[in-house]
Chains A and B, each alone.
Chain A
Amino acid sequence: MSIEVKNVTYTYSPKTPYAATALKGVTLCIEEGEYVGIIGKTGSGKSTFIQHLNALIRLQSGEIKVYDIDLSAKKPDLKRLRGTVGMVMQYPEYQLFDETVEKDVSYGPKNLGLDEAEIKERVREAITLVGLDYEDIRDRSPFELSGGQKRRVAIAGVIAMRPKVLVLDEPIAGLDPKGKQEILALVKKLKESFSPTVIVVSHDMDSVAENCDKIALFAEGEIARFASPREIFYDDELLAKTELDCPSVVKVSKELSRLGMSLPSMPVTKAELIAALRERRANE
């Protein structure tokens, strides 16, 4: 079990006229090795939830355990926690600050208190992993890079801490289609290398359906459903209730069955759709 969340409730600005409850009794277990998508409307509590995972927001009530680190403790080991849970915020390129790419990426490992040689090795590894040329880019200013490159450098800054859990808040927002594919492929690569557990907040249903093992659907501060993409996107009642959009594969499949050409299975990824279509043709 890598993450255990029990009955977490959170209110912003409590006891003021602006009090707003963002999470209401959220309970969730994420196993090591899972790729979890978090979806839901703006203001449904997704961001508040993921910020709890590395104690950027301190628990008000409830329990959270990340591996063996207990966040309900009075003084959790924040340094170790932040080395364990790597958080890539929305538009991470806006956090770049240092003179050179190398210095910026080494900010995280330095804060973990690692020694020079270890930091250098990790920075080189992280920059290479995100698909940039270390020798070429290390001494350049992060501010003179292109948008996509900046985002990669920012992600490298997080993975240089070698987190076991990688949390990304809308990693593909504002990128062109090619950039989106590259970042998604990168996340997959990171999952295979040293962040076995990945949690992604996204509004992009196609990418969620394509990549996630499980989806947590947030609605008004609660988890409306935590299940596989298939269970969620083929539950018409749930979709209507939460005003959720479907991935295009699911739309195609539903449209086909409406036209009387039902598929033998319920595909959510492109590969599954193609397989289902082939199977249907073979059966005819």
Chain B
Amino acid sequence: MNNIVFGQYYPSNSPVHKLDPRVKLLIVLFYVVTVFFVVDYAMYGALFLFIVAVALISKIPLRVLFRTVRAVVILVLITSAINLFFTKGEQLLFSWKFISIYKEGVERAIKLALRLILLMLFPSILTLTTTPMELTDAIESLLAPLKVIKVPVHAIALIMSIALRMIPILMEETNKIILAQKARGADFDTGGVLKKAKAMIPVLVPLFVGAFRRADELALAMDARCYSSVAKRTKYKVMKLTVADLVAALFCLSVFALVFLNKYLWHFDEMILSLFH
């Protein structure tokens, strides 16, 4: 119970874990944009291999990585189904009463599913290899230029890190309260939706009371140490760009560049097809 970990951080000592979180965050941003420019299966395959390679370098078991896709399975199924049934095209494959499926629909459904899965996988490597605290620091550092136009970047980052810090505490507290009420014979597992919702009241009330108490205590503790959000302060962990960051960034950007080159210049699909003709 001492080390409840929030999120999905997977501790390991890999080169990817050690990269500057700012670099990782930016790479993921570029990646997300890139995915929308993928046009053919060859590039989907290439990106997939790229992700597997990064996962191997970061020593994350592929099982753990692919588990993150579960979160979007329903979204993938629904969007694919909608595209499958509602895309009108020229080549009719199948028709029954009011349902008609076209070749274009099948292709769109598959591509959309691939795109969503790819969109989930790579950012997952970021959250698997970076602690939420590092991410917050990275966001604060990347947003720093906004200070010029009087955006309270530091306060935003502080709110984020306190929120992140409180999640495991509240989770632990929730567990404790659930145990305590179970010890008093509470039953959270049986009954309909209404009964289950009602059973949660004895958990939620103490949880809220506790959250307010903690917030008060934290504010007092910060005041007692003369906290001020405008003071200039240094970081405990200084983020520094290294050669490794540069190499990683260049490697990833060149892979992404392939996608754009493919879309606008090369057209791999046609090249491969022409080999067979």
Contact = CB atoms under 8 A, between A and B. Distances in A.
A252 interface: no
A89 B183 contact: yes
A207 to B, nearest CB: 22
Contacts of B1: 12
A161 interface: yes
Contact of A158 (B184, B201, B206): B184
A83 B209 contact: no
B272 to A, nearest CB: 42
Given A51-B179, A89-B176, A92-B180, A143 B186 contact: no
Interface string B104-116: 0000000000000
Given A18-B5, A43-B2, A56-B179, A94 B206 contact: yes
Nearest to A51: B179
A95 B183 CA distance: 11
B141 interface: no
Size range of the chain A interface in the assembly:
20 to 34
B184 A97 contact: no
Contacts of B183: 54, 56, 82, 86-87, 89, 158
Main secondary structure of the interface of A (DSSP, over half): mixed
A107 interface: yes
A87 B206 CA distance: 18
A40 interface: no
Contact of B180 (A83, A89, A112): A89
B187 interface: yes
B165 interface: no
Interface of A: 12, 17-18, 20, 43, 51, 54, 56, 79, 82-83, 86-87, 89-90, 92, 94-98, 107-108, 111-112, 143, 157-158, 161
The 5 closest A-B pairs by CB, nearest first: A111-B185, A97-B205, A87-B183, A108-B184, A95-B180
23 contacts: A12-B1, A17-B11, A20-B2, A20-B3, A51-B179, A56-B179, A56-B182, A82-B185, A89-B180, A90-B176, A94-B176, A94-B209, A94-B210, A95-B181, A95-B184, A95-B206, A97-B202, A97-B205, A98-B202, A107-B186, A111-B184, A143-B209, A158-B183
